[in-house]
Structure 1
Amino acid sequence: MRLSIWPGAGQRYDEILEVARHAAETGWDGVYIADHFMPNAVPGRDPDSPMLECGTVVAALGAVVPRVRIGTLVYGNTYRHPAVLANMAATADHVSGGRFTLGVGAGWQVNEHEQYGIELPPVRQRLDRFVEALQILHGLLRTPRTTLHGEYYRVTDAVCEPKPVQDPLPILIGGGGERRMLGIVAEYADLWNTWGRPDLIAHKSRVLDDFCAARGRDPEAIQRTAQAIVVVDGPLPELRQPVVGGSPAALGDLLAQYRAIGLDEFIVPDLLLGTGADRLKAMDTILSLNRG
């Protein structure tokens, strides 16, 4: 099972770079950055604290951090026209020497849309728009020219050159909705990502398999990735996202459970790993536990 680190974009760039370089030097497989312009407005968080922009950070990391894959977890579709995003992704793949993973999602964070005057449609319309965006991304990144005259986007005989180094550049879709989103994943994704403990991921993975079967697609063509907040050694706080670990032994058992359900990649947010040398030590512990 691959292991990737997710440094929060609310910290200084030099801190993100320290985490990414340590990952590259010690045997981690990837580094992901989330696409937000401000923290989510939830109790206990300051929505006005700083946040670095995702696209700039992944390009910067791709230029100076060797070996590991660099990815977005995930670009919000409402923030950028898909043709613009296709060009950003192709460029990031060239900057990184063919190590970029394009993670995309339908978009969701309310305060960003409100402050910046960006439309956040109802879920059904948001997913309809996301499907058109995925069709454009596939076309521009993988074919010479693309035409799509949809309800939300219109591109005509459009080009995206140069094409990515990777052929194809992998597209990761984030989301776990069982009524429709996993069907979109089955049709358009090379990788799938969602939050969850092993039992939930196993369940949703079976649902994804069913969607693949209905579309005549081999479920093995879609790699499964997931994340949870990790505590290496200490109490587990109550958060909106799943929190796992608490001790090295418990974390080792948890990683074994993810491997047992066939997870391809586990992604570790650095939120509760500490800072500085403590964080790097925690990363080393997690890596050792994943190796068994």
Structure 2
Amino acid sequence: MKLGLHYWNFSTPADPALIAPTLARTARTAEQAGFSSFTLMDHYFQMEHFGSAAEEPMLEGYTTLGYVAALTERMALGLLVTGVMYRHPGLLAKIVATLDVLSGGRARLGIGASWYEREQLALGVPLVPMGERFERLEEALQICRQMWSEDNGPYQGRHYQLAETLCVPAPLTRPHPPILIGGSGEKKTLLLVARYADACNLFAGSVEEAAHKLDVLRAHCADVGRDYDGIEKTMLAGRTVLDDVDGFLADAEALARLGISEFQFTPVGDPVAFTEQVAERIAPRLASIG
């Protein structure tokens, strides 16, 4: 069982001048503790959920990952997950390829259908109906895969047209940086996982719900001729794991039997202290699972 750190909040400590050193210390602490991945959100405003406010600090994700890449050596790096509407797919493929080259082959493309309407309307990001977002998501996946292949030719889609798909230097990771699709929508998201993804990040409120979602994914894989076992399954661990370590580990053991192989932990309060606590209280016991 692998551990990931999902760094979602830049409000602690409150001084903006301390954001960078706190982020640096947290990333180094996570890597030293054996975390396998480090992810960020893809938002420009903080989410207005979980008691947060849009006015709280938020950094641009890929710029921040470049900073973390220079401070670490082993952890996989990505966004959980990139909003499909926030970057043109051709530029996104180039951004992820750049991160992969500069990090020594540690980039991971996490991607999903963007949803946070306030920040999109505020910053002029195109806001389109959900059905179109999923059409664009599938085209973005096709474009990234083509740009990371030997095919430098054009791409003609309904929403995106590229005259060339040249990407030099190519990513170091072969055949391409792992693609992770986030979400649990049964008709569209999990079908795209079966068609295109190397990994998924499931949203599920219980072991039973996760089992159902994985059954849906298994059926989609059978329909498209995909090896279900070849897709890595990951989940967020939630924000209360330190309040009930035994309860979390009981669920983690059950989820591991279903095939979940990585949990991403989301810091609460001081991110350095949180990471140290997970490393001390959870990581040794989680390592024996799965």
Q: Normalising to structure 1: TM-score of the pair?
A: 0.90
CA distance in structure 1 between the partners assigned to 2:52 and 2:180 by the alignment: 28
Give 1:184's match in structure 2, choosing from 180, 192, 216.
Answer: 192
**Unaligned stretches of 5+ residues in structure 2:** 12-18
Q: Which residue of 1 aligns with 2:229?
A: 220
Q: Which residue of 2 aligns with 1:4?
A: 4
CA distance in structure 2 between the partners assigned to 1:169 and 1:23 by the alignment: 22
Matches within 5 A, 1:1-292: 1-11=1-11, 12-42=19-49, 44-167=51-174, 168-196=176-204, 197-234=206-243, 246=244, 248-270=245-267, 272=268, 274-277=270-273, 279-292=275-288
1:85-144, CA deviations, whole angstroms, 9 ceiling, x for partnerless residues? 111001100111011111111211111111011112111111111111111111001233
CA distance in structure 1 between the partners assigned to 2:256 and 2:50 by the alignment: 34
CA distance in structure 1 between the partners assigned to 2:88 and 2:5 by the alignment: 28
Between stretches 254-263 and 47-56, larger displacement belongs to 254-263
1:140-190, CA deviations, whole angstroms, 9 ceiling, x for partnerless residues? 012331422222100123201111000121111111110111111111101
The answer as to whether partners of 1:62 and 1:70 remain within 8 angstroms in 2 is yes
Count of residues in Structure 1 that have an aligned counterpart in Structure 2: 279
Q: Which residue of 2 aligns with 1:241?
A: none
The answer as to whether partners of 2:26 and 2:271 remain within 8 angstroms in 1 is no
Counterpart code for 1:282: V
Between stretches 157-166 and 39-48, larger displacement belongs to 39-48
1:38-65, CA deviations, whole angstroms, 9 ceiling, x for partnerless residues? 1123473221111011001111111211
CA distance in structure 1 between the partners assigned to 2:208 and 2:269 by the alignment: 24
Corresponding residue SS for 1:4: strand
Counterpart code for 2:197: A
The answer as to whether partners of 1:225 and 1:263 remain within 8 angstroms in 2 is yes
Corresponding residue SS for 1:17: helix
1:190-220, CA deviations, whole angstroms, 9 ceiling, x for partnerless residues? 1111222332222111101111110111112
Counterpart code for 2:157: G
The answer as to whether partners of 2:198 and 2:230 remain within 8 angstroms in 1 is yes
CA distance in structure 2 between the partners assigned to 1:274 and 1:36 by the alignment: 21
The answer as to whether partners of 2:33 and 2:279 remain within 8 angstroms in 1 is no
Indicate the structure whose relative CO is greater, using CA pairs within 8 Å and at least 6 residues apart: 2
Between stretches 4-13 and 170-179, larger displacement belongs to 4-13
Q: Which residue of 2 aligns with 1:238?
A: none
Q: Report the Cα offset of residue 68 of structure 1.
A: 1.4
Identity, in percent, stands at: 32
Q: Report the Cα offset of residue 273 of structure 1.
A: 5.9
CA distance in structure 1 between the partners assigned to 2:50 and 2:3 by the alignment: 30
CA distance in structure 1 between the partners assigned to 2:273 and 2:200 by the alignment: 32
CA distance in structure 2 between the partners assigned to 1:193 and 1:278 by the alignment: 22
Q: Which residue of 2 aligns with 1:237?
A: none
CA gap 1:138/1:279 in 2 versus in 1, 3 angstroms: closer
CA distance in structure 2 between the partners assigned to 1:181 and 1:193 by the alignment: 11
CA distance in structure 2 between the partners assigned to 1:114 and 1:74 by the alignment: 19
CA distance in structure 1 between the partners assigned to 2:200 and 2:257 by the alignment: 18
The answer as to whether partners of 2:29 and 2:276 remain within 8 angstroms in 1 is yes
Q: Normalising to structure 2: TM-score of the pair?
A: 0.91
